[in-house]
Amino acid sequence: MRLAAAVIAGAVLGGVFFGAVFDPQALPFVGTERIYAVFLLDGQAYFGHLDDSPFSGTIVLRDIYYLNDATKITTDLPVGLVKRGGELHQPTDVMYIRRDKVLAIERITLTSPVGQAIATQRALDRATTAK
């Protein structure tokens, strides 16, 4: 009887713990694409696909975009984004960010200005590489 109660209590505690750190909506096979905004303490903001292991000291961001002056962009969108990787040092398309440098993480919708700017930038990139 005690063993059964301990097993049930362990299962309940494990379910509460994993329910608190696991977002089933973030799974890649559930719904549509997930784009996250990562705001850093120094004021930088990055947008992309988030790999977040709750037991790691870092978060991982892939397919990364960051804000640019929208007046220099030729689209009619209110926000300008740049795909990370075109800088002088040509970084790879992955960024490891220490958790203690993160102010906030938010999931953004694909219909938001940022989501639309990412879709537009991807289309422009595909058109450029197709030539």
pLDDT in tens, 47-94: 999 988 778 889 999 989 888 755 555 556 556 677 777 666 677 778
Provide CB contacts within 8 A for 99, sequence distance 6+.
56, 57, 58, 59
pLDDT in tens, 89-116: 677 778 999 999 999 999 998 888 888 8
Residues in the chain: 131
For 15-38, what is the mean pLDDT?
62
Q: What is the pLDDT of residue 61?
A: 92
Domains and CATH numbers, the chain: 25-130 (2.30.30.100)
pLDDT band at 118 (very low <50, low <70, confident <90, very high): confident
3-class state of residue 9 by DSSP: helix
Provide CB contacts within 8 A for 69, sequence distance 6+.
80
